[in-house]
Amino acid sequence: MPILAKLAEQLDRVVELFGRLAAWIGVGLVLLVAGNVLVRYFLHTGAIWLQELEWHLVAPIALFGMSYALLNGEAIRVDGLYQRFPPKLRATIDIVSSILMVIVALIVVKLSIPFVLQSYNMGEGSPNPDGLTHRFLLKALIPLGFAVLACQAMAETLKAALRFFPSSR
């Protein structure tokens, strides 16, 4: 099973990169919001595309951040009960929940790709004058973010399987 541990580690590394990217985008978002506020209040002007860019930056933070949270054990669960369970039961719960998460994430990937393609084919952009164009790029983050989530859920499945079969390491 060392190959499974290595695979889980490689998947973790990929998600770590996306998590770091989300963190840096968060820094950019804070700077952008602060800049927009300063420009609006002191120069009494603003740009619609800059305001739209704010919420465009929230998407990768949320979509990549969910995988990063799972990687770091920050996912929501009832820890008060979970911690009382024996290790094999916890591993079983983790295996089942991670497999279900892989399935759901892959379904979202499959269902969101036509959504992205439709946006691309119609040349969708902002309905606002001076708004951002190429809306499909933002929408493409949905399948990408859920593909990253599927990778992390698979890594969690492998790690839980290694805990379930500790002698197989």
Rounded CA-CA distance 29/58 in Å is 8
Q: Is 101 exposed, middle or buried (0-12, 13-18, 19+ CB in 10 A)?
A: buried
Its domain, for residue 56, covers 2-168
pLDDT of 168 reads 52
Mean pLDDT of 150-169: 88
Amino acid at 9: E
The pTM of this model reads 0.90
pLDDT of 75 reads 77
Domain tally, the chain: 1
Mean pLDDT of 73-100: 86
At 25, is the pLDDT very low, low, confident or very high (cuts 50, 70, 90)?
very high
